[in-house]
Structure formats: structure tokens, C-alpha cells
Amino acid sequence: MQNPISTGKFFPVIITEKFEETKQFYISLLGCQVVFDTDWYAHLVSPKGLEVGILVANHPSQPEYLHRAYTGSGMVLSFDVENADTEYEKVKAAGIEIAYDIKSENWGQRHFLLRDPNGLTVDIVQLLK
């Protein structure tokens, strides 16, 4: 494309049947603040500026191809952190279920995995030096 789309922000929108649970997961995990909230869409922003939208599945205001809820596969949200062990302890203390225990990988990462209420994989990753 010779003249790419000029955009400011880039953020995922999770289509879900678990609207409130999903909001609370990202509020708890990332310390997000809800900056826009209706009964069918919420927009959250973390203290570091990460953003996520949460959209209720099957909402009549949306075209039909945006009605289906996320099914739990085919996407990973990765969050780069300074210290994976510190974040791991915070997540454990918050009672968030860990899907893949903390591990150092031979390609230079230390990470652990979570699943949000929709089954979306969340990778908390530290790049090792």
C-alpha cells in the first residue's frame, strides 16, 4: 500500500459472552481503568497506556459478523515485563489461575501463561539478556 492508513492507537477488542468477568480480569491483571462503559461495550486503559475493548457478543448494534464470541484459540496477547518472577508472584497472590507455569525458554524468554475468562491466552514474558 503506497499510502498506509494513518492511525494513532492499536488495541484488541474481545467479543465475549462473559462481559463483566472479562472486564474484571483485565482490571485486576493490568490495573486498567474503565474509560468508557455501556452495557454492551467497555474500553479499558492500563496505567502504562495499554488498551483493550470488550464487546458483548450478539449485540444488535453490530454487524452480524461481529456477533460471535471469541472461541479461545488462534490468538495470544503478550505483555512484556521487566521481571517475570515478580509478576508471577503478583498474579498468584491475586488468585488468577496460571495456565502454564513460569519457565525460562532456550530462545531467551522467561514467561508464564494465563487464560482470560474467554480462553484467550495471555503471555507474561520477560526477555532475558
pLDDT one-digit tens code per residue, 34-90: 999 999 999 999 999 999 999 999 999 999 999 999 998 999 999 999 999 999 999
Provide the domain limits for residue 58: 1-70
In angstroms, the CA 31 to CA 34 distance is: 10
CA distances from 29 to 6, 24, 54, 106 (A): 30, 8, 15, 27
CA-based nearest residue to 44, from 20, 79, 68: 20
pLDDT tens sequence across 85-111:
999 999 999 999 999 999 999 999 999
Same domain, 63 and 78: no
Q: How many domains does the chain have?
A: 2
Query: What confidence category does residue 2 fall into, taking pLDDT thresholds of 50, 70 and 90?
Result: confident
Same domain, 64 and 30: yes
Could you tell me the pTM of the whole model? 0.89
Measure CA of the first residue to CA of the last residue in the chain; give whole Å. 36
